[in-house]
Chains A and B, each alone.
Chain A
Amino acid sequence: MQLVAFYIFAALSVLGAILMVTRKNPLGGAVALVVSLASLAALFAMLHAEFVFILQILLYAGAIMVLIIFTIMLLNLSREELKEPPVGKVKGLFILAATVVGLVGFIRVLRLLPEGTEYVAPTFGNIEKVGTMMLTDYLYPFEIISVLLLVAIVGVVLLAKKII
């Protein structure tokens, strides 16, 4: 039962990732990315990492909405603009080489992985643990990140003010 669900969601996430790269229409790509991220979230849920599952959907899948709106509103692409320029010989060779190097590197990394897996405690990654860690061990990084986000928000408002 679990194995079947795992294979379905794993296949969906890989399929979504492939479609995201190959779709010509940016909107189709964004939707494929949603499918891929949602399936990844389902995989997290199956590992009992419930908080990670919720954050994956809330932050990643939710944020793609903005991408879609940008695609629709700002880019407003026509069919002609979406035609790809023909790939040159040098460029093609480069892409081929990059693919081979990437595959070899991936297999190397796979070999580095240790055999067998270590089980973590069932409380790993639940809300209480994450909250406690953020406000004790990682308090300063947490505060610095919030200041960074505040700066980003103020910056965006400042930039937008110039346009309006």
Chain B
Amino acid sequence: MEFHLIGLGKAVFIWAVALTCIPILIWFERKGAAFIQDRVGPNRAAVLGVRLAGIVHNISDVVKLLTKEMMVPAHTNKWYFTIAPFVGITVLLFAFAVVPWADNLRFGRWDIPMQVANLNGGILYILAITSLEVYGIVLAGWSSNNKFSLLGALRSSAQMISYEIPLALSLIGVFMVFGTVQLGEIVRGQGELLWGFLPRWGVFVQPLGFLIFLTAAFAEANRNPFDIPEGESEIVAGYHVEYSGIRFALFYMGEYVAIVLSAAMVTTLFFGGWQIPYLPTDRIVANASTVLRVLLTVGAVLSFVSAIVFLRYDKRLSGTWAKGDLRNQEGKILAVVAIIFFVMHLVAAIVLWSVELPEWGTAVVAVLAQTGMFVLKLLFFCWLFIWVRWTLPRFRYDQLMRLGWKNLIPLAFLNIFVTGFIILLVERSG
């Protein structure tokens, strides 16, 4: 029973992370695009005067998409048309089962891996599950009974099948270096130091593999510069041109979950996953009280500074909106929240200064710190996806195929041979 409850809790946690990333990514996308194109971006929607620089805009989006009519055009295959949007996102959420987000939680008799399922196949499971993702797109494109949809679906399937090969081949180098395919073990292997100062992250031992993987991951997630399945200048909107309302939104959610999954894979395989550089788990556990105190003090300082920033922002804001509009008071509301946070951090820091943490407390602090590190890295790579989208132009279809088959696959093979050669040399000399 305990086993099932813990498993359920872990599954809920990782799904919550994945799904919470969707609104954050939409916000990143809107504000990032606006920033890169020198615009302001969404800045109107508000709840009780709070706009949070456009995050609140997501709520109005969701309400719009949920209340919109879901059109089902004539001559479509109703059954496949209805289930197709669900296939992509469901399948992708399953893939999160093997992503580790912290070291094992160890205290007393407990030793809980912070990973839903520690499969023997490890990363191969993600590859297998994501290969099913394309069914959602192909079924949507085919059942729409529309030439543009069909073209989008066929482009997408060709692209995904092509780029799965360099994706998987680029990972072989990582397997060779760390000697395992289990994600937990790969992350643990990245905790060591290279030549005494450089973290042994995948990106430092497999730079070429990382580049190939990142490129292929962009193609697998159907993101720019490889978003020809929905190239709007050529085929309207590709496979989801006939969809509307929440079904349309599900495709977008699926795309964002794909980004989160790719970012999680990049983080775990090449950027040390939950590893905090130079701070292995046992050192965090040994100094848990200090770590927590430092974090709380930093939090207190940060919330104090943000309170001042919000108050200055309030002065600038006054009178922007019509009289009686709560949005005029946004700075004051946010400042009050920041001050509450400041007081809470201060109280907690003062209490902790006199109390030593129990054993389970130190373990929880280590897990929390590592989870925070993992989420930070994850968000950075999510932002990278958006950054690239608004920086690079779209590839043409033949360029995409040439890049995949003629450049990436030979490079991936080269990477495998060079990695093998170096491992052999190191083993001979060591």
Contacts and interface: CB of A to CB of B under 8 A. Distances in A.
Interface of A: 1, 27, 31, 34, 38, 50-51, 53-55, 57-58, 61-62, 65-66, 68-69, 72-73, 126-127
A65 B138 CA distance: 9
A61 B132 contact: yes
Given A72-B142, A72-B150, A127-B181, A65 B157 contact: yes
A27 B142 contact: yes
Nearest to B153: A72
30 contacts: A27-B142, A31-B80, A34-B135, A50-B119, A50-B125, A51-B121, A51-B124, A53-B121, A54-B119, A54-B124, A57-B128, A57-B129, A57-B132, A58-B124, A58-B127, A58-B128, A61-B131, A62-B131, A65-B134, A65-B135, A65-B157, A68-B135, A68-B157, A69-B138, A72-B138, A72-B142, A72-B150, A72-B154, A127-B121, A127-B124
Interface residues of B, number: 24
Contacts of B4: 1
B77 to A, nearest CB: 8
Interface in B174-233: 181
A140 B161 CA distance: 30
Contacts of B407: none
Given A55-B128, A58-B127, A65-B131, 20 more contacts: A1-B4, A50-B119, A50-B121, A51-B120, A53-B121, A57-B128, A57-B132, A58-B128, A61-B128, A61-B132, A62-B132, A65-B135, A66-B161, A68-B135, A69-B154, A69-B157, A72-B138, A72-B150, A127-B120, A127-B181
> Looking at B80, B132, B153, B154, which has the most chain A CB atoms within 10 Å of its CB?
B132
Interface string B298-321: 000000000000000000000000
Interface in B107-159: 119-121, 124-125, 127-129, 131-132, 134-135, 138-139, 142, 150, 153-154, 157-158
Contacts of B127: 58
Contacts, number: 62
A143 B185 CA distance: 30
Listed from nearest, the 8 A-B pairs whose CB atoms lie closest are A58-B128, A62-B131, A57-B128, A54-B121, A126-B120, A50-B120, A54-B128, A54-B124
Nearest to B181: A127
A68 B127 CA distance: 20
Contact of A68 (B120, B125, B138): B138
Contacts of A127: 120-121, 124, 181
Contacts of A57: 128-129, 131-132
A127 B181 CA distance: 9
Contacts of A55: 128
A58 B131 contact: yes
A156 to B, nearest CB: 14
Contacts of A54: 119, 121, 124-125, 128
B124 to A, nearest CB: 5
A31 B154 CA distance: 16
A73 B154 contact: yes
A58 B129 CA distance: 7
A53 B161 CA distance: 20
Contacts of A69: 138, 154, 157-158
A69 B139 CA distance: 10
B155 to A, nearest CB: 11
Contacts of B124: 51, 54, 58, 127
Contacts of B119: 50, 54
Nearest to A62: B131
Contacts of B129: 57
Interface in B1-44: 4
Interface string B68-95: 0000000000001000000000000000
